[in-house]
Chain A
Amino acid sequence: MEELEHRIFFADLFNWALGPAALWIGNLLGIHLNHERPIPNHVAMAIIVAALLVGVSAFMRNRYRLIPGPGQQIIELIVDFFQGLLLDVIGEKGKRYLPVIGTLGLFILTSNLIGLIPGFASPTSNLNVTVACALTIFVYYHFSGIREQGILHYLKHFLGPIPLLAPIVVPIEIISHFSRIISLSIRLFGNIFGEDLVILILFSLVPLFVPLPMQFMALFTSIVQTFVFVMLSCIYIGGAIAAEEEHTEAHSH
């Protein structure tokens, strides 16, 4: 993994511009940072990706037309895709989660793809970033479940359908929910890190042309991994709020 932590121009630029500030904040919080490069590549790249997404969104927002141009059409396609996914998995209530799922999906997709551009690296090839994404979803879907059902009703589902089996079901549920963080983060990290590593190895063997097939493959896996992450996030959110819908339906009958 250290092999991939090569010098990146933009990360160097970040360290030059914001390094002292990062060191000061680190000292303030009692966090030990590398004095030479306090802002690691993946943090710098994640900030670039976030800035890029905010910039493009802000740029496109002012250029919205009734009859869309190519850029607007592509953005509409992406939004339609996320919205369709949410409607399919969660139902009509899914529209409410579009901002979170859309932001996360776009961040992961851009993070996966940006590593293919020379001079950049995929933030998602670092476990810290993927764990951060997974934790965001973990916290968000529990928050959504509690918001929909209330804390007691939501926690009641962890006891299982038969009260007698609660001592067995509760630990299983807890492990199952925490394993989601691991599965989400390791899957994404493993795939992106793996493809970056293979490209790097192929590049170190024969720099020209040989890594190309793997780069095409990386394009595909970047999209697939984004889809998997987003799809699982939708399922987790849907699962957290579904119990309330069942409950409401039961009452309505």
Chain B
Amino acid sequence: MSTLFASLLLVLLSELPLLASTEEGTAHHQSLISTIAPYINFAILVGVLVYLLRKPMKDFLAQKREAVGKMLKDSEQARDEALSRLTALQSKLDSLEADIDQIRQQAEREAQAEKERLIQEAKEDARRIVEGAEKEISNRVKLAVRELKTYVAGEAVAKAEEIIREKIKDDSHEKLIDTYLENLSKN
């Protein structure tokens, strides 16, 4: 603004020789009013414009400035958030190797424990199965022996009966009966 007024003043000063020549009655006759009228008109023009536009323009520019400021603040906040997330992710990434090792060791430990538990269980099962089988075998053997004894006894009785039937005739049979009856009467 000051530059504008300075240039106006410069132009006004440049017109002074013309004013002087007016006084001397030269061909370029210009009255004082017609020399300064453009400046007065222009000053009024600028004054009215400034009066009319100053407040709305100021408000508009302030609003725009505020909007830009808010946008910048939001961007900075978003950048900070992104940076903190990046940092967190970076540290997580850095500790990831250790975490992986830890998880692997834990898994190995658990797997070992599980393996041992399974082996123990299998051993126990095997022992139980063996015991059961032994018991079963023993029972079967006893049963078989008993059956065998019964069978052998049966066979022996049958054989003895057969021998006796062959050897003992009717007279011997009667003799035996008589002897049995005699014993009975004695008793």
Contact = CB atoms under 8 A, between A and B. Distances in A.
A207 interface: yes
A67 B68 contact: yes
Interface in A88-129: 116-120
Interface string B9-20: 011101100000
Given A9-B10, A212-B45, A203 B65 contact: no
A118 B8 contact: yes
A208 B11 contact: no
A118 B11 CA distance: 8
Interface stretch (B36-44, B131-139, B156-164, B178-186): B36-44
B103 interface: no
Contact of B65 (A12, A73, A209, A212): A73
A66 interface: yes
SS class, residues of chain B in contact with chain A: helix
A116 B45 contact: yes
A239 interface: no
Contacts of A68: 64-65, 68
B33 A116 contact: no
Given A9-B14, A70-B61, A118-B8, A208 B37 contact: yes
Contact of A118 (B42, B61, B69): B42
Contacts of B41: 118, 207-209, 211-212, 215
B11 A207 contact: no
Contacts of B4: 117
Contacts of B177: none
A219 B39 CA distance: 16
Contact of A116 (B10, B42, B69): B42
A208 B35 CA distance: 10
B95 to A, nearest CB: 37
A216 interface: yes
Given A119-B8, A216-B45, A66 B72 contact: yes
Given A119-B7, A212-B45, A216-B48, 16 more contacts: A10-B11, A12-B14, A66-B72, A67-B69, A68-B68, A118-B8, A119-B8, A119-B11, A119-B38, A203-B37, A208-B37, A209-B41, A212-B41, A215-B41, A215-B42, A219-B49
Interface of B: 4, 7-8, 10-12, 14-15, 33-34, 37-42, 44-45, 48-49, 61, 64-65, 68-69, 72
Interface of A: 9-10, 12, 66-68, 70, 73-74, 116-120, 203, 207-209, 211-212, 215-216, 219
29 contacts: A9-B10, A9-B14, A9-B15, A10-B11, A12-B14, A67-B69, A67-B72, A68-B64, A73-B64, A116-B45, A117-B8, A118-B8, A118-B12, A118-B39, A118-B42, A119-B14, A119-B38, A120-B11, A203-B37, A207-B33, A207-B38, A208-B37, A209-B41, A212-B41, A215-B42, A216-B45, A216-B48, A219-B45, A219-B49
